[in-house]
Amino acid sequence: MQMNPADAQRLGIADKQLVWVSSRRGKVISRADLSDRINPGAVYMTYQWWVGACNELTQDNLDPISKTPETKYCAVKVEAIADQQWAERYAWTAYSDMKARLKAAADV
């Protein structure tokens, strides 16, 4: 999850720390990537991650004309996680559990 360094400093977030990102729809854990390329007040997340996937946060509304989901934007809250050792274990466990579920589904 990329964010502006000034926003990160205000929230007590250091570069590469794991953070909570939440919206009205969900909450995910993600790694902060501080970049001046991101405007203050905005964040950017990529779509390819399984754990911390931004589609867990975006709206499930459909565009009335194209019928495509509105998965490109939404309002979020970013929060620092004080215990980074716990956060690393949490992320690793979530990723390991997801891999095991995918393997089990593929073996059916």
Confidence check: pLDDT of 19 > 80? yes
Mean pLDDT along residues 91-96 = 90
What sign does the CA torsion over 18, 58, 50, 92 have? positive
pLDDT of residue 86: 97
Among the residues of the chain, which ranges form H helices? 5-11, 84-106
Reference 1, options 37, 45, 34, 36; nearest CA is 45
* CATH architecture type of domain 2-106: Beta Barrel (2.40)
Q: What angle do CA 22, 26, 31 make, to 5 degrees?
A: 45
State phi, psi for 104 to the nearest 5 degrees.
-60, -40
pLDDT of residue 35: 98
Per-domain residue ranges for the chain? Answer: 2-106
Confidence check: pLDDT of 49 > 80? no
Mean pLDDT along residues 55-67 = 79
Confidence check: pLDDT of 79 > 60? yes
Residue type, 51: V
Average pLDDT along the chain: 88
Confidence check: pLDDT of 16 > 70? yes
State phi, psi for 7 to the nearest 5 degrees.
-65, -45
pLDDT of residue 31: 94
pLDDT of residue 50: 57
Sheet holding 43-44, edge to edge: 33-34, 2-3, 43-44
